[in-house]
Amino acid sequence: MSKTSIIAKQLQEKGFVVLSNFLDEDDISSDMSVWLEGAPKFKDGVVGSIPTNFMGKIQSKIANLIPGLAQNIGIEIDADIYIYSAIRLNRSQGEPALRLPFHYHLDPKIAPGGVLNWHLDHFSYYLGGDHTNYLICYLPVQKPDIHSCNLAIIPYDILKKLDSCTFMRVQHRGALRFRCVESDTMAWFQMRFPNELVEVGQWYAIDDFYPSPGWKLDIDIEQHKVVPQLSVGDLLIMRADVIHRTEDAKTDRISIRCDAIPRNARWLYSWFSLFKMGLMLPFEYPKVRYNKKIWLKAVLANRLRASKLGHYFLSRPQ
């Protein structure tokens, strides 16, 4: 069995795979690291529009790997476009803080340092609705401790074995959060699920796409997580419908993220599609409409800036 076939098999069975030492030391530009330390973040905490002159060696290695891998697992990506961004965490030892007063659509708690709780990505699903033909790549480029600031994952096989109903419901999905009921957030869950007998310790899927509130899980995902230990230069490849969260913010950390997008997603970046998306906003679900407005404003502002510079970078929809 070829190396690509072995990687593809793990992606199909578990939803993720780690390739150690994917990058060499000289693949990571020191100028890029300095730029990323001060670059502004989008609403979801992501740094977009990384200058392409920093990314040549990384882009080349990704482009040599991903098309064959996608073909092997039977998904259709756009082999000509990879959307690069960066995720920057700031060291923080603080505890998650309650967000009061509670709001139906907002998390009851927020973690410091840019840590993201359990979720499936939102903006990519709002915009394209296709998390089947979609691969996500993480590459740490600044990370002082292999045992901190990793990504926690719920593998396909574990979720399928312990909560087959949730496994079926999250396949191909995005725009979902997964939260545990705590004593100080009980009121938020009772507001979100008024017809449920909510108890501390239960886990719920929070649906941020369809009007339904979500559903109760049959698995304690925190007890069954897998946390790959990543060093600088390692590559984590993940299917877009794999439940994941940031492990912690015990140190500062910057990772490059590359999205291999569906073959039909290129249309999102044409002027016609942006215009059409704006016209369709009144007919979207409320949460989708709210977030598409944010993304459209950011993209249009990016294009206006780029037109003055004579170039344009694709920004990642999370």
Q: What is the pLDDT of residues 64-92, one digit of tens each?
A: 999 999 999 999 999 998 999 998 888 88
Residues linked to residue 200 through DSSP beta bridges, in sequence order? none
Interatomic CA distance for residues 127 and 288, integer angstroms: 9
Residues linked to residue 258 through DSSP beta bridges, in sequence order? 84, 137
**297 is written with which tokens?**
């404003």
pLDDT at 109: 95
Among 57, 42, 84, residue whose Cα is nearest residue 313: 84
Amino acid at 195: N
Average pLDDT over residues 227-247: 97
Amino acid at 61: K
Query: How far, CA to CA in Å, does 27 sit from each of 67, 85, 255?
Result: 20, 16, 14
pLDDT at 130: 94
Per the CB < 8 A criterion, the answer to whether 36 and 47 are in contact is: yes
Q: In what order do the strands lie in the sheet with 253-262?
A: 16-19, 235-239, 135-142, 253-262, 77-89, 46-47
| Percent of the residues in the chain that have a pLDDT greater than 90, as a whole number | 67
Q: How many other CB atoms are there within 10 angstroms of residue 15's CB atom?
A: 22
**303 is written with which tokens?**
């294009």
Interatomic CA distance for residues 116 and 244, integer angstroms: 9
pLDDT at 312: 43
- Homologous superfamily of 3-102+110-155+227-269: q2cbj1_9rhob like domain (2.60.120.620)
Q: How many other CB atoms are there within 10 angstroms of residue 25's CB atom?
A: 8
Residues linked to residue 235 through DSSP beta bridges, in sequence order? 19
Interatomic CA distance for residues 9 and 11, integer angstroms: 5
Residue with tokens 């979207």: 284
**83 is written with which tokens?**
């959307």
pLDDT at 298: 82
Average pLDDT over residues 207-221: 96
pLDDT at 45: 64
Q: Where are the beta strands (DSSP E) in the chain?
A: 16-19, 46-47, 77-89, 97-98, 109-110, 119-120, 135-142, 151-153, 176-180, 203-207, 214-216, 235-239, 244-246, 253-262
Q: Regarding predicted confidence, which is higher, 4 or 245?
A: 245
Residue with tokens 């510079």: 309
User: Residue 144, preceding bond cis, omega within 30 degrees?
Assistant: no
Average pLDDT over residues 122-150: 94
Interatomic CA distance for residues 130 and 173, integer angstroms: 7
pLDDT at 307: 67
Q: What is the mean pLDDT of the chain?
A: 90
pLDDT at 313: 45
**261-318: pLDDT as tens digits:** 999 887 777 888 888 999 999 999 999 999 999 889 888 887 777 666 554 444 454 4
Among 34, 46, 211, residue whose Cα is nearest residue 124: 46
Average pLDDT over residues 22-37: 88
**91-112: pLDDT as tens digits:** 888 889 999 999 999 999 998 8
The values of phi and psi at residue 81, to 5°, are -130, 125
Residue 281 CB partners (closer than 8 Å, separation 6+): 289, 292, 293
| Residue 14: DSSP 8-state | H
Residue 224 CB partners (closer than 8 Å, separation 6+): 154, 158, 159, 162
